[in-house]
Chain A
Amino acid sequence: KNQVEQSPQSLIILEGKNCTLQCNYTVSPFSNLRWYKQDTGRGPVSLTIMTFSENTKSNGRYTATLDADTKQSSLHITASQLSDSASYICVVSKGGATNKLIFGTGTLLAVQP
């Protein structure tokens, strides 16, 4: 079954601290993996995208990693800011004709002052 699981479900950290969010997937065939940030009441915004051959991708304070062998990805946020408070969604694109997106349930991050 094509699934994307994320952990933790929610996370509270202090401003300035780092954190790492996890994503495990069983999607096959695999095309690519994206991390999105979704602010409350808004649509998702893409942070990073990685294909099978890419191990890491950075976007400012966001660094995503991908281990295609173990089918795991992580999103590391450095020096967190209050504006980082949001839901972070891991999305795996299923290869093939449909290019269907499989969404994780997200990790709700709260950054406190």
Chain B
Amino acid sequence: GAVVSQHPSRVICKSGTSVKIECRSLDFQATTMFWYRQFPKQSLMLMATSNEGSKATYEQGVEKDKFLINHASLTLSTLTVTSAHPEDSSFYICSARVSGETQYFGPGTRLLVL
């Protein structure tokens, strides 16, 4: 149980384009989903927290207009990287939480912006 999927697993795009990443909880309903970014040899950095049906809460330094988060249902959250640039290239990981503290992590999405 408690499986979280992400799609796509990897994406390559041109600079200036927008990329959408999906995060789904497959066998449970997630009241809260989290989006993380991980650069090479670094740990996960929380970007934003999203609760179903409400606006996401962004961490300090994360541009909300650049990283659009939509948590339209209890099983789906999307992260859209708008007008992507090479510095946005990173490993994006989502996690989902039902209640309490346990977060279940997705397999990650590798984004490469050329």
Q: Chain A: residues with CB nearer than 8 A to chain B?
A: 31-32, 36, 41-46, 49, 89, 93, 99-101, 103-106, 108
Given A93-B101, A99-B101, answer yes or no on A43-B46 (Cβ-Cβ < 8 Å): no
In chain B, what residue has the closest Cβ to A95?
A: B101
Q: At the interface, is chain B mostly helix, strand, loop or mixed?
A: loop
Chain B interface residue count, Cβ-Cβ cutoff 8 angstroms: 20
Count contacts between A and B, CB distance < 8 Å. 38
Q: At the interface, is chain A mostly helix, strand, loop or mixed?
A: strand
Chain B contacts of A100 at CB under 8 A? 46
Is B105 an interface residue, CB under 8 A from the partner? Answer: yes
Do A105 and B43 have beta carbons less than 8 Å apart?
yes
A35 vs chain B, min Cβ distance (A): 13
Do A43 and B107 have beta carbons less than 8 Å apart?
yes
